[in-house]
Structure 1
Amino acid sequence: MKKIDTVQEFEQLSETNPRFFFMKHSLTCPVSSNAFTEYQAFLNKHEEEDGYYLAVQESRELSQHIAEKYGIRHESPQAFLFIEGKPGWNASHWKITESELDKL
């Protein structure tokens, strides 16, 4: 799992990677901490999947860019599966679980 901090990094990722998971993570929210643990567990179990994240407090510009570009209201925590440069799935808060991610 790799941290992405800038719009430029995200756009490059989106252009070069046909399928990847991405999470908006809050460093101060206990719900986000739980979701991040579930996200990590999923990625550790599925090494063939690419996973990335941002820390909302450190990358507000990127977080807002994703919300505006794809028309998906910002929430934190929030997870996405991007397919061919577009969100094919997204969920927030307690809906981000290893078992839900396993279905994708």
Structure 2
Amino acid sequence: MNWNKLTNDTQLDVIKEESAEQPILIFKHSTSCSISAMALSRMERNWSDQLGVKPYYLDLLANRRASNNVANEFGVHHESPQVLLIRNGECVYDASHMAISFAGLQQAV
């Protein structure tokens, strides 16, 4: 799995533009949380590029401002860990904690 790093809020405009061409996944990860580490590992183990989704990884501890702006921009309540599926500039699916799964993402795509 090849993560694209989301490190600043100016990337959100790019993500919204890209999401017109293909779905975008944003994985908000807390590097100090064992639940977040487990959710990340499960996503990576099950990932398939054939899904056609471009994945972004956001270390929310290192990039708190970008994390807050993701929540505001896409109208979701901040959670950690959290995944958001962006299509045509809007969040069409989000899940957090133990609800994060590749199967859930597949259904949303």
State the TM-score, normalizing by the size of structure 1.
0.88
Aligned counterparts, 1:34-53, within 5 A:
34-43=38-47, 45-47=48-50, 48-53=52-57
Give the share of equivalent positions with the same residue, in percent: 26
Q: Distance in 1 between matches of 2:76 and 2:84?
A: 10
Q: Distance in 2 between matches of 1:87 and 1:71?
A: 8
Q: Secondary structure at the match of 2:10?
A: helix
Deviation at 1:34, TM superposition (A): 0.9
For the structure 1 residues 70 and 102, does the alpha-carbon distance in structure 2 shift closer, same or farther, using more than 3 Å as the test?
closer
- 1:64 matched to 2:68: yes
- 1:9 matched to 2:11: yes
Q: Secondary structure at the match of 1:7?
A: coil
* Alignment check: 8 A CA contact 1:42 1:101 kept: no
Q: Which moved more, 1:85-94 or 1:34-43?
A: 34-43
Q: Which runs of 5+ in 1 are unaligned?
A: none
Deviation at 1:51, TM superposition (A): 0.7
Q: Secondary structure at the match of 1:52?
A: strand
Q: Distance in 1 between matches of 2:19 and 2:93?
A: 16
Aligned counterparts, 1:17-32, within 5 A:
17-18=19-20, 19-32=23-36
* Alignment check: 8 A CA contact 1:31 1:94 kept: yes
- Amino acid aligned to 1:61: R
Q: Distance in 1 between matches of 2:90 and 2:104?
A: 19
State the TM-score, normalizing by the size of structure 2.
0.85
* Alignment check: 8 A CA contact 1:39 1:97 kept: yes
Deviation at 1:10, TM superposition (A): 2.4
